[in-house]
Amino acid sequence: MPLPLNRRSFLHLTGSAAAMALLAPRLPAQPAPAGSTPKSAPARPPALPAEKIREVVGQSHRSLDAVRQLVEEMPLLVNACWDWGGGDFETPLEAAAHTGQREIAEFLLARGARPSLFSAAMLGQLDLVQAFHAIDPQAHAVVGPHGFTLVHCARRGGERAQAVVDWLLAQGATPESNVGLKSTRFAGAAPRAT
């Protein structure tokens, strides 16, 4: 049978609940069971060596054999990112994308590289480019490493990516290959010479 709740008992009940909520963080934690050790976060592995990151990004512009050797030696390099300065960041996959290195891009993706808008454009993956665009209708205006545009990456994909080029241009993408790092996404970053 429910208890009658009048204004006085309601205020008393809510006041008690509020006091408990305020005091709860100050109450001592329950002691750990005897013999147990406190849990700590697992140790993080060391950062990847900068020289290896720069090398894998550099080689991803041109040499599948060199990229394969570096990634086999250090698998985490597939998602490494090199900072060229001035807001110009580049992953191995993005390097392959803006240079049209399909084999390198496919190798990196097979090894767990995170797909990007630029790699999708170069590989002719129109469905992925359209999915990015559905989320952000201005996705075609995003500039990639070194100021290269999506149209540039799609053109580097050759005939297999022509549908992406056509679709991007129909969406209002600039036909220029390199706009520098002057988009609104890189506000304040110094533009590079084109």
pLDDT in tens, the chain (194 residues): 555 555 555 445 555 555 455 555 555 555 656 666 667 888 988 999 999 999 999 999 999 999 999 999 999 999 999 999 998 999 999 999 999 999 999 999 999 999 999 999 999 999 999 999 999 999 989 899 999 999 999 999 999 999 999 999 999 998 887 777 654 344 444 433 33
CA angle at 19 for the pair 18 and 22, rounded to the nearest 5°: 85
Residue at 32 is within a domain = no
**How confident is the model at residue 190, as a pLDDT?**
41
CA 88/CA 146 separation, integer angstroms: 6
Cβ proximity of 71 and 78 under 8 Å: yes
Residue at 73 is within a domain = yes
**How confident is the model at residue 191, as a pLDDT?**
39
CA 130/CA 17 separation, integer angstroms: 51
Cβ proximity of 95 and 57 under 8 Å: yes
Residue at 102 is within a domain = yes
Residue at 172 is within a domain = yes
**How confident is the model at residue 178, as a pLDDT?**
76
Residue at 37 is within a domain = no
Total number of domains constituting the chain = 1
Residue at 21 is within a domain = no
Residue at 68 is within a domain = yes
Residue whose token pair is 């290959």: 177
**How confident is the model at residue 186, as a pLDDT?**
40
Residue at 159 is within a domain = yes
**How confident is the model at residue 39, as a pLDDT?**
75
Find the domain containing 81 and state its range. 50-186
Q: Which helix (H) or strand (E) holds 82?
A: strand 82-83
**How confident is the model at residue 42, as a pLDDT?**
87
CA 180/CA 183 separation, integer angstroms: 8
Query: What CATH number corresponds to the domain at position 106?
Result: 1.25.40
